Amino acid sequence: MKITKSARRGAICLAACAALAGLTSAGAATPAPAPAPASALTYADLADLADPAQLVLRVKITRQSMIDPARSPGLSPGKVRLYVEARPEAALAGQVPPVKVVKYLVDVPVGADRRVPKVRGKSYIVFARAVPGKPGELQLVAPDAQLPADPVTAARLMPLLAELADPGAPPRIAGIRDILSVQGNLAGESETQLFLDSVSDGPVLVSVVRRPGASPIWSVSWSELVDQAGRSPAPDTLAWYRLACTLPGRLPAQANLARGDADRSRALRDYALIKQELGVCARTRK
Domain identity same for 236 and 160: no
What local confidence, expressed as pLDDT, does residue 277 receive?
96
208 and 243 in contact (C-beta within 8 Å)? no
Is 248 within a domain? yes
Mean pLDDT of the chain: 86
Domain identity same for 235 and 262: yes
Domain identity same for 156 and 256: no
What local confidence, expressed as pLDDT, does residue 39 receive?
63
Is 222 within a domain? yes
247 and 173 in contact (C-beta within 8 Å)? yes
Is 132 within a domain? yes
What local confidence, expressed as pLDDT, does residue 202 receive?
77
Is 6 within a domain? no
Domain identity same for 211 and 271: yes
d(CA 138, CA 159): 25
Is 283 within a domain? no
Is 252 within a domain? yes
- Kindly state the average pLDDT of the residues 192-214: 91
Is 1 within a domain? no
Q: What confidence category does residue 36 fall into, taking pLDDT thresholds of 50, 70 and 90?
A: low
Backbone angles phi, psi at 222, to 5 degrees: -105, -5
The pLDDT tens digits of the residues spanning 77-105 come to: 899 999 999 999 999 999 999 999 999 99
d(CA 76, CA 5): 42
d(CA 256, CA 159): 36
List the domain range (segments joined by +) for residue 246: 173-278
CATH number reported for the structural domain that contains residue 31 in this entry: 2.40.50.120
Domain identity same for 123 and 193: no
Instruction: Tell me the sheet residues that pair with 108.
Output: 80
Other beta carbons within 10 Å of 212: 9
Domain identity same for 267 and 136: no
Is 3 within a domain? no
Domain identity same for 83 and 125: yes
**Of 165, 186, 210, which residue is a domain's last?**
165
Q: What is the largest CA-CA distance in the chain?
A: 74
pTM for this structure? Answer: 0.83
Domain identity same for 39 and 134: yes
Residue 173 has pLDDT above 60, yes or no: yes
Task: Give the DSSP letter string of 123-136.
Answer: EEEEEEEEPTT-TT
Domain identity same for 69 and 110: yes
Domain identity same for 152 and 21: yes
Helix (H) or strand (E) holding 271: helix 261-278
**Of 114, 149, 165, which residue is a domain's last?**
165
Domain identity same for 41 and 146: yes
Residue 54 has pLDDT above 70, yes or no: yes
Domain identity same for 180 and 228: yes
Structural domains counted in the chain: 2
**Of 115, 134, 165, which residue is a domain's last?**
165
